[in-house]
């Protein structure tokens, strides 16, 4: 017997006769866990959700929920019998019913087996949609429709909730608040959830685990911290776009060297033989600002990011390196200024690729 | 393999409906009588020539009347403009054959025009001064005044949806109103206008009552004669095939001529309410006059003529079993609507849930029934039943099914079904197209089965479309003539057949009462639908 709550094993996810993601395996261990799937547009994230929901069939592998086989090449449990709810990215509200009726249809449609009945009012309040209850879907904004659909999904208290870009149309000012509330309610109700998003911060916040889908494959499936700090491939680094890769040469068990930055020390996540030529991942927070240092680089750009400035610095071999500095730091620099980097450079984790 | 009820049902429905097209095509493999030889030496070229002249005449006139009135009503505000926007669709209640009776009766020697002149100016020899509207000219007028509504409605909805930005762009470029009209507004409305003209073309080539009344020999009458005079079904079907080919060629030519041009911009949230231009003085007078004359000629004129005769010859009113005719019409309308809605719903839903290419192709073919003239459909149906009876039913030693389908309500409703299926199918389809497929999927995920989704989610959502379709079908059936005439049971009459029979016996006065009843009932249905027909209003 499988110990996992959800288990996806060796599945090729297909839509319209075309394979979108190949040979995918991942699992959700505990009830109430949230996992997030990240990837560029069109990579097949939605196809994965649709397949798990039973809207698409599979030709290989298995999908099991609570140890019950839902999909395989031979078997297919119809969506209406899966106790899985999918909140679509586009407006999927019943157009001829008011928002309230839509939500209550969700509450009535599936009687939770032995589950504590969820009061739709609580969800309605939480998602701040009280004012639009009497309106029809065509009378509300895309963000409101998304929240209403989310409410409808939540009130069904499914065994598995699938959210496809649930907050993509929600205003930025309201998004963080909803993320907090959403996570709280999912955790309180112990609703196991898979969230598809292209927003890595949203994924890192919501998910117990994150999956990165790139080039028809599930490239990495790990804790958000690991995905961010220890990406397992150059493709994941490029996708997350949270740093750059610079050439370096391994000089010892805890050190390597770059022509422009000199000696860099730290803990290798994966060891390489001394003398290996590698690509070193440098993230904006890896380097420290120090104008007293003799390592000076030219500022070519400065981006204001609220709490931080991200300086883009040019090295002598014309590498462009991002460095994050707190907005309130002394001696702010302008473009063309010289920017000092603290030496010796020490990194908590050294992530390299051959 | 799992049995898919929705897929199989949709497939069966589509296959049933394409039988007439199949029958028309297979006529090439059958022997014909010597009617073709006779026809070739006599009237065949005349049939083709007359059909072409009729088609060209009607298309020009309906284009002028339909686009002109739609433009005036959509872009300008003048006294009565709100009234005309729906009043102009009332002419749809007057079928071409009833218009033909009115036109003929008004201008004939000692007709209504003569009576009016005599009343106004005393005795006189007015007949030689009163123009005669008969033959081809009368026919073109009768069909055009009845059918311009197709062009009016589609052009108007297109004009209303045209972005204000487009019109402002014209102004910005310094275009005059006329230049803006023919360089911006008219080309942008081209698909809608062509769709309207295509409907007019199909109805014109299919027209039977008016053509027969004015004794103009067209391909439709040729088909009818091949069947009635020479009992040559195969040849009738062969002419039908050419007529069908001609209609399809018209579509294809227009489609190809568009190349890759697009006629609308997807301006999400960018729809700017168009402000109507207020007309004053002479311009306002001309706009009002154009619409009023059109409304008068297309609707008030035939209505008054029929009303005048009904009052003048009240005995016809009492001779007619109006209640009986009404009940017969109601019976046909209810039964056909029910059958059409039922099967069109199943087929649409089947298409939606199974999403199979073959079904899509068959559905597209099956809706072409509307392009097939009623006479052809009726004859093709009889041909098919006779063939089926001969080759299958009799070989099994079962009783002939001819009586079951020919000259019976069952046969009549079946052919109505084939003819008007496209109205029902497309009406429901356009309702469905507004519903994202996610809605269905959401329902499944909420635990609804396919049937429950269909009944609890789709039907309530489609109720407005269904109501609209029912009224549209009713309107068509009330006006329908050739199918009813050919396939109705013995002694079963409708307002349309009664009017036709009286007119063909030269008893035009007697045709007035059923014609008037038909116009009144059809007008009632039009007024019921006007809310939906004109729903594109952003005024």
How much is the pLDDT for A242? 80
Q: Is residue B79 domain-resident? A: yes
Q: List residues of chain A with CB under 8 Å from any CB of chain B.
A: 50, 53-55, 78-82, 84-86, 88, 90-96, 105-106, 109-110, 149, 152, 156
Exposure letters A293-305 (e unless 16+ CB within 10 A, then b): bebebebeebeee
Distance of CA A350 to the CA centre of its chain: 23
User: Domain end: A236, A271, A301, which one?
Assistant: A236
How much is the pLDDT for B270? 42
Q: Which residue of B has its CA nearest to A153?
A: B446
What's the total number of domains in chain A? 2
What's the total number of domains in chain B? 1
Residue A343 has pLDDT above 90, yes or no: no
Reported confidence tier of residue B99, pLDDT bands at 50, 70, 90: very high
Residue B243 has pLDDT above 80, yes or no: no
Q: Is residue A248 domain-resident? A: yes
Q: Same domain for A221 and A264? A: no
Inter-residue contact B517 to B326 (CB < 8 Å): yes
Domain with residue A64: its CATH number is: 3.40.50.300
Q: Which residue of B has its CA nearest to A53?
A: B445
- Report d(CA B502, CA A197) in Å as an integer: 73
CA end-to-end span of chain B? 54
- Report d(CA B313, CA B509) in Å as an integer: 7
Q: Is residue A1 domain-resident? A: no
Of A316, A272, A273, A274, the C-alpha closest to A295 is A316
Q: Same domain for A230 and A215? A: yes
Domain with residue B201: its CATH number is: 1.10.3720.10
Q: A159: number of CA atoms within 13 Å, CB side?
A: 20
Q: Is residue A330 domain-resident? A: yes
What is the DSSP pairing of strand A68-71 with strand A352-353?
unpaired
Q: Same domain for A124 and A230? A: yes
Q: Same domain for A259 and A140? A: no
Reported confidence tier of residue B268, pLDDT bands at 50, 70, 90: very low
Query: Which of A52, A54, A92, A93 to mutate to test binding with chain B, by most B CBs within 10 Å of its CB?
Result: A92
- Report d(CA B291, CA B298) in Å as an integer: 10
ipTM of this predicted complex?
A: 0.72
Q: Same domain for A143 and A191? A: yes
Indicate the pTM of the whole model. 0.74
Q: Is residue B211 domain-resident? A: yes
Of B42, B397, B514, B32, the C-alpha closest to B237 is B32
pLDDT in tens, A171-229: 777 788 888 888 888 888 889 999 999 888 899 999 999 999 998 899 999 999 999 88
Instruction: Note down the domain range covering A143.
Output: 6-236
Q: Is residue B230 domain-resident? A: no
pLDDT in tens, A36-57: 999 988 889 999 999 999 989 9
> Look-up: residue for tokens 């001696």?
A331
CB-based burial of residue A83 (10 Å sphere; 0-12 exposed, 13-18 middle, 19+ buried)?
A: buried
Of B207, B239, B87, B187, the C-alpha closest to B141 is B207
Query: Which residues in B lie closer than 8 A to residue A91 (C-beta atoms)?
Result: 436, 438
Among A76-90, B159-173, B347-361, whose mean pLDDT is lowest? B159-173
- Residue in A84, A93, A94 closest to B445 by CB: A84
Quote the percentage of chain B above a pLDDT of 90: 19
* pLDDT average, residue stretch A113-117: 57
Neighbours of A97 (CB within 10 A): 17
Structure tokens at A13: 């996810």
Taking CB atoms and an 8 Å limit, are A110 and B438 in contact across chains? Answer: no
Taking CB atoms and an 8 Å limit, are B444 and A55 in contact across chains? Answer: yes
Reported confidence tier of residue B293, pLDDT bands at 50, 70, 90: very high
Among A7-11, B52-56, B366-370, B422-426, whose mean pLDDT is lowest? B366-370
Q: Which residue of A has its CA nearest to B441?
A: A55
* pLDDT average, residue stretch B261-275: 49
Inter-residue contact B409 to B338 (CB < 8 Å): no
Structure tokens at A266: 């730290």
Query: Which residues in A lie closer than 8 A to residue B446 (C-beta atoms)?
Result: 80, 85, 105-106, 109-110, 152, 156
- Report d(CA B72, CA B80) in Å as an integer: 11
Alpha-carbon distances, residue B247 vs B160, B240, B243, B278, B427 (angstroms): 29, 11, 6, 41, 22
Structure tokens at B20: 């007439």
Q: Same domain for A195 and A251? A: no
Query: Which residues in A lie closer than 8 A to residue B445 (C-beta atoms)?
Result: 53, 79-80, 82, 84-86
Taking CB atoms and an 8 Å limit, are B445 and A91 in contact across chains? Answer: no
Report CA torsion sign: A271, A272, A273, A278. negative
User: Domain end: A212, A236, A260, which one?
Assistant: A236
Length of chain B as a residue count: 539
Instruction: Note down the domain range covering B85.
Output: 44-216+258-265+290-312
- Average pLDDT score, chain A: 87
Q: Which residue of B has its CA nearest to A155?
A: B446
Q: Same domain for A153 and A217? A: yes
- Residue in B439, B447, B449 closest to A94 by CB: B439
Structure tokens at A135: 């309106």
Taking CB atoms and an 8 Å limit, are B439 and A152 in contact across chains? Answer: no
Number of A to B CB contacts under 8 A, please give it. 62
Inter-residue contact B91 to B148 (CB < 8 Å): yes
How much is the pLDDT for B297? 93
Inter-residue contact B516 to B509 (CB < 8 Å): no
Structure tokens at B23: 């029958």
User: Domain end: A202, A236, A270, which one?
Assistant: A236
Q: Same domain for A271 and A164? A: no
Of A86, A75, A207, the C-alpha closest to A152 is A86
Give the CA-trace dihedral at B333, B335, B339, B341, to 10 degrees: 50
Q: Same domain for A220 and A320? A: no
Taking CB atoms and an 8 Å limit, are B445 and A53 in contact across chains? Answer: yes
Q: Which residue of B has its CA nearest to A96?
A: B461
């Amino acid at each position: 017997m499988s110990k996992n709550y959800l288990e996806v094993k060796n599945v090729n996810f297909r839509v319209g006769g075309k394979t979108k993601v190949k040979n995918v395996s991942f699992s959700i261990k505990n009830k109430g866990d949230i996992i997030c799937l990240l990837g560029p547009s069109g990579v097949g994230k939605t196809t994965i959700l649709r397949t798990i929901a039973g809207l698409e069939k599979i030709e290989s592998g298995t999908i099991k929920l609570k140890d019950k086989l839902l999909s395989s090449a031979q078997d297919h449990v119809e969506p209406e019998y899966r106790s899985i709810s999918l909140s679509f990215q586009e407006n999927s509200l019943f157009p001829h019913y008011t928002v309230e009726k839509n939500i209550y249809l969700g509450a009535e449609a599936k009687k939770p087996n032995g589950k504590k009945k969820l009061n739709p009012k609580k969800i309605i309040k939480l998602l701040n949609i009280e004012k639009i209850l009497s309106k029809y879907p065509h009378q509300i904004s895309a963000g409101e429709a998304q929240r209403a659909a989310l409410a409808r999904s939540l009130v069904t208290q499914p065994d598995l909730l699938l959210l496809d870009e649930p907050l993509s149309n929600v205003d930025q000012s309201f998004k963080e608040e909803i993320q907090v509330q959403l996570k709280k309610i999912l955790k309180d109700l112990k609703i196991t959830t898979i969230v598809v998003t292209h927003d890595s911060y949203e994924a890192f916040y919501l998910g117990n685990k994150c999956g990165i889908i790139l080039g028809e494959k599930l490239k990495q499936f790990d804790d958000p911290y690991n995905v961010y700090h220890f990406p397992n491939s150059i493709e994941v680094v490029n996708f997350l776009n949270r740093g750059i890769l610079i050439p370096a040469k391994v000089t010892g068990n805890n050190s390597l060297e770059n022509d422009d930055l000199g000696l860099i020390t730290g803990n290798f996540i994966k060891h390489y033989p001394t003398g290996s030529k590698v690509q070193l991942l440098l993230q904006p927070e890896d380097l420290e600002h120090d104008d007293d240092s003799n390592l000076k680089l030219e500022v070519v750009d400065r981006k204001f990011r609220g709490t931080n400035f991200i300086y883009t610095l040019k090295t002598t071999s014309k590498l462009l390196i991002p460095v994050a500095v707190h907005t309130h730091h002394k001696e702010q620099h302008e473009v063309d200024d010289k920017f000092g980097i603290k030496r010796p450079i020490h990194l908590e984790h050294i992530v390299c690729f051959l | 393999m799992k049995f898919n009820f929705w897929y199989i049902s949709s497939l069966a429905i589509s296959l049933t409906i394409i039988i007439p097209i199949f029958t028309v095509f297979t006529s090439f493999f059958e022997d014909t009588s010597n009617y073709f030889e006779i026809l070739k030496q006599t009237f065949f070229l005349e049939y083709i020539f007359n059909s072409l002249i009729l088609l060209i005449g009607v298309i020009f006139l309906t284009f002028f009347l339909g686009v002109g009135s739609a433009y005036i009503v959509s872009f300008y505000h003048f006294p009565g403009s709100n009234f005309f926007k729906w009043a102009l669709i009332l002419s749809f209640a007057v079928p071409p054959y009833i218009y033909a009776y009115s036109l003929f009766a008004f201008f004939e020697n000692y007709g209504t025009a003569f009576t009016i002149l005599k009343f106004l100016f005393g005795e006189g020899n007015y007949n030689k001064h009163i123009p005669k509207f008969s033959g081809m000219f009368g026919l073109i007028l009768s069909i055009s005044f009845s059918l311009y509504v197709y062009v009016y409605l589609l052009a108007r909805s297109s004009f209303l949806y045209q972005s204000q930005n487009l019109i402002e762009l014209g102004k910005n470029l310094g275009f005059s109103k006329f230049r803006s009209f023919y360089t911006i507004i008219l080309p942008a409305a081209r698909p809608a206008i062509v769709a309207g003209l295509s409907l007019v073309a199909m109805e014109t080539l299919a027209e039977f009552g008016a053509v027969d009344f004015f004794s103009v020999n067209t391909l439709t009458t040729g088909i009818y004669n091949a069947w009635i005079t020479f009992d040559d079904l195969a040849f009738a079907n062969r002419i039908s095939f050419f007529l069908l080919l001609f209609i399809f060629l018209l579509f294809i030519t227009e489609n190809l001529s568009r190349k890759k041009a697009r006629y609308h911009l997807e301006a999400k949230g960018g729809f700017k309410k168009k402000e109507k231009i207020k007309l004053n003085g002479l311009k306002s007078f001309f706009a009002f006059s154009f619409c009023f004359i059109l409304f008068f000629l297309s609707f008030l004129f035939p209505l008054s003529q029929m009303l005048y005769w009904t009052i003048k010859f009240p005995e016809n009113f009492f001779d007619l079993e109006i209640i009986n005719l009404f009940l017969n019409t109601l019976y046909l309308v209810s039964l056909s609507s029910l059958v059409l809605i039922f099967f069109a719903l199943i087929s649409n839903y089947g298409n939606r849930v199974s999403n199979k290419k073959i079904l899509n192709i068959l559905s597209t073919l099956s809706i072409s029934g509307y392009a097939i003239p009623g006479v052809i459909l009726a004859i093709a149906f009889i041909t098919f039943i006779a063939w089926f009876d001969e080759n299958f039913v009799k070989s099994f030693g079962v009783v002939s099914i001819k009586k079951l389908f020919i000259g019976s309500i069952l046969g009549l409703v079946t052919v109505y079904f084939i003819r008007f299926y496209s109205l029902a199918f497309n009406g429901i389809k356009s309702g469905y197209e507004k519903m994202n497929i996610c809605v269905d999927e959401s329902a499944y995920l909420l635990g609804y089965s396919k049937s429950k989704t269909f009944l609890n989610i789709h039907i309530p959502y489609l109720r407005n479309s269904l109501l609209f379709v029912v009224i549209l079908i009713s309107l068509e059936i009330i006006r329908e003539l050739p199918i009813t005439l050919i396939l109705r049971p013995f002694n079963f009459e409708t307002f349309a057949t009664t009017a036709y029979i009286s007119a063909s016996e030269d008893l035009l006065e007697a045709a007035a009462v059923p014609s008037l009843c038909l116009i009144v009932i059809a007008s009632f249905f039009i007024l019921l639908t006007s809310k939906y027909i004109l729903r594109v209003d952003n005024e």
